[in-house]
Chains A and B, each alone.
Chain A
Amino acid sequence: MTAPANYFGVLAEFADADELVAAAREVHAAGYREVEAYSPMPVEGLAEALGFRRTRMRLVVLVGGIIGCLSGWALQYYTSVIAYPLNVGGRPVNSWPSFVPVVFEMTVLVAALSAVLGMLAMNGLPRPHHPLFGIPQFDRASQDRFFLCILARDPMFHPMSSRQLLERLGPVEVTDVPQ
């Protein structure tokens, strides 16, 4: 039995998704907030069960898109109107209709990049080392098992009570996760 300080949390393993969702609701209802659930594929309603709703991904992508759009247009305007205005086939230096395709591509490019990088950043990835990876059975979190973990940093966390709460929810097994 290790001191709370060295705890990462307690981890409960479930056989299928529905049990996990149910358990998550219980734990959340019990007032725990620093709880995390792990599943081999996205589970409908799981995040909500943990009280997690808004991801703010859309905002990130929108901002990215706007930046891309403006920079694309600015680039073309600067190069063909300000930097070196040339008479190309009698077209005006600012022949904006010809600039549309590049503006569009730039918009998509920056938006897409911000989506991916934003997702990684907000998920705190990359994180190749994680306490849970130390738990042998956690391997199956990426295959066919479902886990619920009450984190030690939760104010309500107590090695004994939290463990008991989880055990009450009918898991396959409950394990302590060291730091």
Chain B
Amino acid sequence: MNSNFRQPDTASDVPHRASDGSQFWRSLEELEGDDAFFVALRREFPEYANRLTDGATRRQFLQLMGASLALAGMQGCVEQPQEKIVPFVQAPEQIVPGKPLYYSTAMTHDGAGIGLLAESHMGRPVKIEGNPLHPAVPEIMSAAAETNRLRFGASDTFAQASVLSLYDPDRSQTVLRDGQISTWDAFAAELQATLSTLAEAGGRGLRILTETVVSPTFADQLRQLVELYPNAAWHQYEPINHDNELLGSRLAFDADVQTIYHVEAADVIVSLDADFLADGPMHLQQARGFANRRRVDSTGAASAASMNRLYVVESSLTVTGAAADHRLPLAPRAVAAFSLRLAQALGLQLEASESAENATSVGDQIPQEWLDAVAADLQQARGRGLVIAGRAQPPFVHAIAHWINATLGNVPGSVEYVEPIAARPELQLDSLRDLVNSMRAGEVHALVILAGNPLYNAPADFHFAAALENVPLTVHLSQYEDETSARCRWHIPELHFLESWSDTRAGDGTVSIVQPLVAPLRSGKSLHEVLATLLGNFAASSYEIVRSYWRSRLEAQSTEANSDVVWQQALHDGIVANTGSPAVQPTIRGDFAAVLGRQLSLSLPAGEGISVVFRPDPSLWDGRFANNGWLQELPRPLTTLTWDNAALMAPATADALQVKNGNVIEIIVEQTAISIPVLITPGQSANVVTLHLGYGRERAGRIGNSVGTNVYPLRSSGAMWHAEGAEIRATGRTHKLALTQHHHVMEGRNLVRAGTLTEFQEHPEHPAFMFEGHVPAEDVSMYPEHKYDGYKWGMVINQAACIGCNACVVACQAENNVPIVGKGQVLNSREMHWLRIDHYYRGSPENPEHYHQPMLCQHCELAPCEPVCPVAATTHSSEGLNEMTYNRCIGTRYCSNNCPYKVRRFNFLDYNRELRQDAVLQLASNPDVTVRSRGVMEKCTFCVQRISAARITAEKEDRKIRDGEVVTACQAACPTEAIVFGDLNDAGSRVRQESASALNYSVLGELNTRPRTTYLAVVRNPNPALR
């Protein structure tokens, strides 16, 4: 892997590279029709283990009818077609054919940026990694010896999957006017005309609707716009926003602040319905911080102090809840009540009001000992405690969290406040309400919607579609021609962040420059360009806009001479130095108790019956990723549901309603009804139904259309997160839910080793819970041992650290060209993921303990799969890898039968047919990994392509591969460093240390398979008081 480019001098040409790149791509577009060229392009990465077209087309079927049995023989001898080589006309600098380059960029998600490294092969990005220099991104193997190795940072599912969206064939490609293909110039002309009329009135009637804006450049453009048209207005709306946090901070401090949690600093963490391990601008750092405090070493003593304790009070099961030491499932309003009670227990004085009464009455389902234990723990951990409120909780819960953290002196230890990172912090719900009202009132003459899909995801009671009818000129910029585009006069294709310039801010305000990896694959415009046209500049390119903004800004502030140097450094590092938001020390307002009292009455909706809880979907978020096959097929954490959303409910609730998995129920909230299948989820709070947003899209694309159920119709401005008093009735219909795991009970098998910290400390050297059930026998083989001198690759997975966030699964899919198979195939257990996260629970179905067990090829030294292969298609390498040679495989599937871990995946059908047919989609494939054909087995290879790349580099330098030089895709993505990979023969390697731990064990070790992938047991830290 090349890393030289990371020195500034080479990075200094980045803009040139882009232009060269674009030239290359423009020539591509010229040649678009030319097959030969695409053949040549395809040459860039491997195709199929055999080149047969395994088609099921009717024509082929007829052709084959005659041949029948004889056919098999004939197919064998198909000769390779002539391949072409197409060199550059002018070789671009930096690009060495056949070697990847890494460029730093950033992705904006949920109103904050996450820094990324994009791996580019011959100018096409194929893999995303986290940028370790970015404040929101924890580094992987940071401890490893500092070599010229490439440093990776963690990332999340959305970042990993973003590269697939870039090549999505369904992305819109042309400007549309009323659905008819039009041109940018036509648009510009019409816009100009309208603007000129609006100009007199100072732009009155011009409205801009954006999503949360954090981009400094964009903010600057908006500022200019408002200067130009003083009477124009800019609104922000995202269905999943931070309104409650904002209100909460105003409530507590009477100020807008951005809260930063230093989870690692906290000994006791209380989550009030906060999914802080997977949600929030800094969730990767939070997850890392949490995990770092869950590791215990064999010296039990030391670990006692080091290990934190997590209490989670939540109404809907989350990965954070699954990771908790103590989890309390409550109805939403009970969560609010709990926080109030907690505050009171910690000394908050509320004058007795009916609202307080209300709170207490609602809270009667809260176990008192729980409350006491948490309060006591927090008290005891003064200054080292942390209370986090979830975005779904009403503002006063956030206020209470602030209050507790302040009162217990957790600020600045584990909580820190900085100025808001948003360009204009505001209550987005109100912002949208204003817009809709003026639309209804006919005050809006031109509405420019820059990204976002309000027609699909605006609160139902706003009737956005109807309001839109009153607007003469509507413009919608979006990557897909979606629901909103369909109702707007103009649709402008939006560029993907990997193909346009921009900038963004991390959760702490640090700015990253978003630089493109390729010139646009499809003609489109960026936010900046469209806004520039509003400012009268029709020709400006994103690069010029962003560059000029930063030139002026850097020249303004940068003391040292050349702003270009700073700019180059920023491009290279992926962050602009010291741009973080300034810290603030807000103080709890004096009249806190009073204000709070007033809030309570509004915030604690009474009401009986079933509460419906709306949550962002772990895969599709608010629906924007609906057309991303990787995310659609990604088993949702804990439920392993794919290709659908469902009404998640507790077993008890399901019994009460007399429904089973897959039964379609009708949920009625205020006369609005939706039909959605049931999925029973142990751990879900009683009488609470969780609905995930983002499904039932009508115009998402071929993949996302009409997958799942659209639950936005139930979501009104009054009930953005919780709807009380829902009515549910069974419809008698059923719907097949594609789950990748049907059975979450261990059937008394000792598959996951788990114990408590106390148990561990009794015998840190050999904890009792490590020796329950079967213990692998020592050399029971009649054959002699195989010796592995040289490298001995192995992996250790720390189950205590794994939070089941799925980032590794998508990373693996992206790195290894793992195909998408579709719902039908998943229903028949044919999903292809090389790495899956098994989930088991222990204990009562009401509130069980959850365990994640990432399961991938264990690379057994005595692999059962190998001796049964008749053609030696799967064998052992001299470094102990269990190798799968696709092109030798004839597909007996015996290896899969004989694999106790069932990690082998088989191409039952031609899963790459579409890939082969779509020249652009092909560009997403990793050229270092074979794209498998029909009828061959495949499985995790420990990213052998990365090992081999590292080996070649090392060999060329006449040295051994250093620890941390080979980082598998899953390891690189993991925010908690739960996955460690390396050479077991290297005494200094981290994997060696972890494999020596007293908590290390092999799954099914008693079968004497001698796995190279071993696990570290789960150690939890429950509060003795709650035993």
Contact = CB atoms under 8 A, between A and B. Distances in A.
In the complex they form, do A and B come into direct contact, defined as C-beta atoms under 8 angstroms apart?
Answer: yes
B833 interface: no
A91 B872 CA distance: 13
A88 B867 contact: yes
A89 B878 contact: no
A88 B876 contact: yes
A55 B757 CA distance: 84
Contacts of A89: 860, 862-867, 876
Contacts of B783: 90-92, 95
B784 A92 contact: yes
B188 to A, nearest CB: 66
A87 interface: yes
Nearest to B898: A89
A159 to B, nearest CB: 60
B861 interface: yes
Contact of A87 (B786, B865, B1010): B786
A88 B866 contact: yes
Contacts of B861: 90
Contacts of B860: 89
Interface in B573-614: none
Given A92-B784, A95-B783, A87 B878 contact: yes
A98 to B, nearest CB: 7
Nearest to A87: B876
A86 interface: yes
A91 B867 contact: yes
B50 interface: no
A86 B872 contact: yes
Contacts, number: 38
Nearest to A88: B866
Interface in A102-124: none
Contact of B875 (A87, A92, A95, A98): A87
Contact of A88 (B785, B872, B1010): B872
Interface in B736-792: 781, 783-786
Nearest to B867: A89
A13 B353 CA distance: 130
Contacts of B781: 90
Interface residues of A, number: 10
A95 B878 CA distance: 18
Interface residues of B, number: 20
Nearest to B866: A89
Interface in B860-892: 860-867, 869, 872, 875-878
A94 to B, nearest CB: 10
Nearest to B782: A97
A147 to B, nearest CB: 48
Max chain A Cβ within 10 angstroms of own Cβ: one of B865, B876, B878:
B876
A87 B784 CA distance: 12
Contacts of A95: 783
A84 B872 CA distance: 10
A76 B562 CA distance: 73
Contacts of B869: 88
Contacts of B784: 92
B786 A88 contact: no
B794 to A, nearest CB: 15
Contacts of A88: 866-867, 869, 872, 875-876
B875 A90 contact: no
Nearest to B865: A89
B862 A90 contact: yes
B895 to A, nearest CB: 10
Contacts of A86: 872, 875-876
Contacts of B876: 86-90
Interface in A68-95: 84, 86-92, 95
Contacts of B1010: 90
A87 B864 CA distance: 12
Contacts of B786: 87, 90
A26 B783 CA distance: 69
B864 to A, nearest CB: 7
A2 to B, nearest CB: 56
Nearest to A98: B867
Contacts of B877: 87
Max chain B Cβ within 10 angstroms of own Cβ: one of A84, A86, A91, A95:
A91
A98 B783 CA distance: 12
A91 B785 CA distance: 8
A63 to B, nearest CB: 31
Nearest to B862: A90
A89 B898 CA distance: 12
A140 to B, nearest CB: 44
Nearest to B786: A90
A89 B865 CA distance: 7
22 contacts: A84-B872, A86-B875, A87-B786, A87-B876, A88-B866, A88-B867, A88-B869, A88-B876, A89-B862, A89-B863, A89-B865, A89-B866, A89-B867, A89-B876, A90-B781, A90-B783, A90-B785, A90-B862, A90-B1010, A91-B783, A91-B867, A98-B867
Given A84-B872, A88-B876, A89-B864, 15 more contacts: A86-B872, A86-B875, A86-B876, A87-B875, A87-B876, A87-B878, A89-B865, A89-B867, A90-B783, A90-B785, A90-B861, A90-B862, A90-B876, A91-B783, A95-B783
Interface of B: 781, 783-786, 860-867, 869, 872, 875-878, 1010
Interface of A: 84, 86-92, 95, 98
Q: Which 9 A-B pairs have the closest CB atoms?
A: A89-B866, A87-B876, A90-B862, A89-B867, A89-B863, A88-B866, A86-B875, A90-B786, A90-B861
